Amino acid sequence: MTINQMIENLQWIVESNPVAFGHPASEEDIRDEEDLAGFYVQEIIKSLKQMQSQDEFVKTEDQLPTFRHEDWDYDSVGVIGVLKSESGTRYVKPVYYERTKIRGKRVERWKDWYGRLLQGYEVTHWRKFPAPPVEESEEG
């Protein structure tokens, strides 16, 4: 089961059982076990959505990485890419998606982590880098 399917199933359960899965705004609003269950289901849905946005690869034909500054002529974003060689072999490597100007024309292209153009490879999928782990001292 994919993360998206889990989210859909949990949302269906919540919508089908509004009494059992009320929507307490915070832990302080919990009055009984049903409120507690509703609160935890909502927290699970939030966590799954966050995991989904971080952990799933996106097809480049569906969406390309977004730049931080759309109005800049020069920008790049580092992502994890799935590279397919001309022979069909697939690799997972960090890559850059770059926007630059060449002879006055705005161009977007893929580069390897060392800044070289990707030649002989096609980037078929990409994903954002995962967030760093939380240090024990940061957890509280």
pLDDT per residue over 86-138, tens digit each? 999 999 999 999 999 999 999 999 999 999 999 999 999 999 888 788 787 75
DSSP states of 22-66 = ---SSGGG--SHHHHHHHHHHHHHHHHHHHHHHH--EETTT-PPP
Check whether 19 has a pLDDT greater than 70.
Answer: no
Shared-domain flag, residues 47 and 93: no
Q: Hey, what's the torsion of the CAs at 132, 63, 10, 16, to 10 degrees?
A: 150
Q: Give the count of domains, the chain.
A: 2
One domain, residues 74 and 123: yes
Residues 77 and 46 in one domain: no
Q: Based on the fold, state whether residues 73 and 51 are members of the same structural domain.
A: no
Domain of 25, in residue numbers: 3-55
Q: Which helix (H) or strand (E) holds 112?
A: strand 105-112
For residues 77 and 100, the answer to whether their CB atoms sit within 8 Å is: no
Average pLDDT, the chain: 81
Residue 138 lies in a domain: no
